[in-house]
Amino acid sequence: MTHNAVSADTAIDYTPGRGIERRLLEKLIEKGVLHVGKAGKYWLDLPAYDAWNKSRRRRAGMAVGAAVAIGAALGFLAGGG
């Protein structure tokens, strides 16, 4: 986002350096968050990014909530009820 590549006209070159970066790039393209423009340049679809990020945060929150609930249940059971 620091390069303001938010349209095909402002797309930038990007070469992922490591395997994890390549996998994330592929995932973002698959989800429609990143688009590949002319000559292999990439640009970010802001509404799609916002929706993807919101979904990601919601899943993380649910995971934390589940961990807290499990911890509370185990604490309750370990305490003898």
Looking at residue 80, its pLDDT comes to: 65
Asked whether 33 and 46 are in contact (CB, 8 A), the reply is no
Per-10-residue mean pLDDT, the chain, length 81: 76 90 93 90 93 92 95 88 59
Check: CB of residue 28 under 8 Å from CB of residue 55: no
> What's the pLDDT score for residue 81?
59
Look up tokens 């919101």; give the residue. Answer: 54
